[in-house]
Chains A and B, each alone.
Chain A
Amino acid sequence: MTQRKVALFVTCLVDMMRPRIGFAAIRALEAAGCDVVVPEGQTCCGQPALNSGDTEHAIALAKQTIVALEPYEAVVVPSGSCGGTIRCHYPELFEHDPAWLPRAQAVAAKTWEIMAYLDEQCGWKPEGVQVTAKATYHDSCSGLRELGVKAQPRRLLKPIAGLELTPLAGEETCCGFGGTFCVKYPAISNAIVGEKADAIEATGADLLLAGDLGCLMNMAGKLNRQGSKVRAFHAIELIAGMGDGPAIGEEA
């Protein structure tokens, strides 16, 4: 069987804040039979500029990302929001640029959120993974609404021995992170994440899982400030068998 050659787009948050999400992604992709490459030229997909209205810088970063990702069969991203930026917004950015539009469309068409890729494209399930805990799952907005990530993480979490998945009230409701929103309008963001933290606590779960580090940092940061015992992981960490490591905000 020829291995699928996939590029991992790490995302700037994973790169800086929680590298083990990137390593978990590589581990799961390799288990699913992929040959994983981390292209050197990647940095940030440009989403902060795009969402702030700074189109010029968003285009510059998009071009750099397109060039870095073009040579590969598929691009996999451990984030619905960065994946959504590449897949949905890159083609919009180059709508009036006949030279770059086809390149943006080509990269967009082969870009996948990690759990959607493992589930839909590889038909893979984790084997022999065990985590004894009660977990709850938050559906991050961009992954959910731009990329249709909903059933895939749940299908990948299901085979994990000992893991009980309990529903979260308002699991499709935004956590109030919103990229730069949380620092531009901190008080409103706090009110939103406060409600989310209460809903998470009300599930009685030990673990909070999601597919986007930004949302996870927001929710985990609020839970920690409130003195909660709920531990937060990117779902791919559990799926890759790395759920026994430190949760977000725990010392290694």
Chain B
Amino acid sequence: MSGAPAEAASFKARADAALADRILKVAVERTAGTAEAKRAVAVDAFPDFQAARTRAAAIKDHVVAHLGPYLEQFEANAIAAGAKVHWARTADEACDIVIALCKAAKAKSVARSKSMLGEEIGLPHALAEAGIGRVETDLAEHIIQLADERPSHIIWPAMHKTREQVSALFKAKHRTPHEEETIAAMAESARRELRTQMLGADVGISGANFLIADTGAICTVTNEGNAELSLVPPRVHIVTAGIEKIVPSMPHAVHMLRMLARSATGAALTQYTTFYTGPKRPGDRDGPEEMHIVLVDNGRTRMREEGLAEMLRCIRCGACMNHCVVFRQIGGHAYGGTYPGPMGAVLTPVLDGLKQSRDLPNACTMNGKCQEVCPVRIPLPTLLRGWREKSWREGLEPQSLRAGLGIWAWVATRPRLYRLGTGMAVRAMRLLGSKGWIRSLPLAGGWTRYRDMPKPAAQTFMDQYRKENGR
């Protein structure tokens, strides 16, 4: 089953399992392929998208360089609007704050609107440990919860499942499942299942796409309206947000929204875009009585100090993974962290440690497509190369590679020896081939297991050239 790769111990084992799962391939291709095509149309229709990307990057760079003052401004304005602001340095601190708030509200169940920060800090697990019931209001997250799996994509958490698999899951788990095999009937089944639980929740928990400094407002975008429905009825609303989500003001948020929606799904805007400022005020007909905002660092200030400031531009659109040849083959679970794809390969070593995740920055062909599509111009290949350098310096790369490259560089920095060596190497390789191709090459089994190696010419270019030029 498609969720299984997440359980395997190593990246390579998870990737192998994913590669063997043909249903997974179909599922990933359907969603990412559609997103790729729709984004291309949306970007073509956008007047001067490249200038808009530059502006988006500049907005993020500016706030990342001045995080402190903007966060203080946001805090003051959020408090003035009636919200309470909490600060968490780590994932554990963030969860402790949320659990304490839920307990203070005597919450038996919470309605959660999908947020990647919630996944990052392990909130679903923390709620379960505290014995607090949880209803996931995002349809895909609901699917994941029913299947007891982890999200495999930051926009479509259940993208690894085909609709056929989802149908089977609903039939097994919903109280009144759908009878017709249509998307409408399946959506209706989920709606029946979720609505009652959502309306009965004591606390609503959401993330934030943007924190707006000059008003203290938070902005969320969803395609299903689930944030609104899960955050307005409960008595208490808790927002968890990474500190890098800050933008100075509404016009900046609007610019980022235009980049986010087009890059993620190719839509001009997300169906539901909501700005919340403080709890219910006297005279308001609805809204929560209490609003809490938990601002989470969890490695972010360290990233800024350790040369990863550009990664803090990320607005979690998922374009990099949708366009990544590696992600398209192995899906999100194989990455093993909260965030998959190229952006995950940069973030996971920050969150889980490089020793556990050194494969991720390496499992990239450096083709640069992710950087080409990133709406905030994050130089992802450069950041990935930075992790490779660190991994090399810290001795985490395999000894065979270190030795191989060492010998190569030693010879290659001695041109005469190099000529002699390459001349001998091509003659040796030619002995292994027949009819122009080598089907099995010692020390290059990774190559010849799957493809043939052309037989080299009898003489290197340099030898032939010297001969022809009489040197």
Q: Which residues of A contact B (CB under 8 A)?
A: 10, 12, 14-20, 22-23, 38, 40-44, 46, 48-55, 57, 60-61, 64, 92, 141-142, 144-146, 172-174, 176-194, 217-218, 220-222, 224-225, 246, 248-252
Contacts and interface: CB of A to CB of B under 8 A. Distances in A.
B27 to A, nearest CB: 15
Contacts of B418: 43
Contacts of B426: 16-17
Given A12-B412, A48-B405, A145-B368, A224 B437 contact: yes
B436 interface: yes
B437 A249 contact: yes
Contacts of A42: 415
Nearest to A224: B452
A60 B413 contact: yes
Contact of A19 (B397, B436, B460): B460
B326 A49 contact: no
B386 to A, nearest CB: 9
B413 A54 contact: no
A23 B466 CA distance: 12
23 contacts: A17-B457, A18-B456, A19-B464, A22-B465, A23-B465, A52-B388, A52-B397, A52-B401, A52-B405, A57-B406, A61-B409, A142-B367, A142-B368, A145-B368, A176-B325, A178-B366, A181-B362, A181-B363, A183-B444, A183-B447, A188-B329, A224-B452, A249-B437
Contact of A222 (B405, B451, B460): B451
Contacts of B406: 57
Given A41-B415, A53-B392, A146-B368, A248 B461 contact: no
Given A52-B401, A249-B452, A173 B365 contact: no
Q: Which of B366, B368, B455, B457 is most buried by chain A, counting CB atoms within 10 A of its CB?
A: B366
Nearest to B426: A16
A225 B438 CA distance: 10
Contacts of B450: 186-187, 189-190, 193-194, 222, 225
B367 A54 contact: no
Contacts of B408: 44, 48-49
A252 B363 CA distance: 36
Nearest to B389: A53
A247 to B, nearest CB: 9
A4 to B, nearest CB: 19
List of 5 A-B pairs having minimum Cβ-Cβ separation, nearest first:
A178-B365, A53-B388, A221-B451, A53-B392, A19-B461
Contacts of A186: 445-447, 449-450
Interface string B18-52: 01000000000000000000000000000000000
Interface in B328-377: 329-330, 362-369, 371-372
Given A187-B15, A187-B16, A55 B392 contact: yes
| Chain A residues touching B, majority SS | helix
A19 B459 contact: yes
A218 B367 CA distance: 15
B183 interface: no
A191 B392 contact: no
A101 to B, nearest CB: 17
Nearest to A59: B409
A221 B453 contact: yes
Contacts of B304: none
A51 B388 contact: yes
Q: Which of B365, B382, B451, B460 is most buried by chain A, counting CB atoms within 10 A of its CB?
A: B451
A121 B462 CA distance: 26
Nearest to A252: B457
A64 B388 contact: no
A61 B457 CA distance: 25
Contact of B397 (A53, A64, A141, A225): A53
A18 B368 contact: no
A190 to B, nearest CB: 4
Given A53-B389, A178-B366, A184-B363, 15 more contacts: A15-B460, A15-B461, A44-B412, A49-B409, A52-B392, A52-B397, A145-B371, A181-B366, A185-B363, A186-B446, A188-B19, A224-B452, A225-B450, A225-B451, A249-B436
A19 B463 CA distance: 10
A42 B414 CA distance: 10
Contacts of B2: none
Contacts of A178: 364-367
Given A16-B422, A60-B413, A186-B449, A55 B389 contact: yes
B425 interface: yes
Contacts of B195: none
B329 A191 contact: yes
A54 B457 contact: no
B12 interface: yes
Contacts of B388: 51-53
Contacts of B368: 141-142, 144-146
B391 interface: yes
A32 to B, nearest CB: 19
A64 B417 CA distance: 14
Nearest to B444: A183
Contacts of A55: 389, 392
B462 A15 contact: yes
Contacts of A38: 462, 465
Contact of A53 (B326, B385, B454, B459): B385
Given A16-B425, A43-B415, A222-B450, A22 B409 contact: no
A13 B104 CA distance: 67
B391 A53 contact: yes
Contact of A141 (B365, B412, B413, B456): B365
B346 to A, nearest CB: 14
Contacts of A221: 437, 447, 451-454
B285 interface: no
B446 A184 contact: yes
A251 B389 contact: no
Nearest to B437: A249
Interface string B397-423: 100011001101100110100100010
A18 B412 contact: no
Contact of B366 (A51, A173, A248, A252): A51
A144 B362 CA distance: 21
Contacts of B369: 141, 145, 172-174
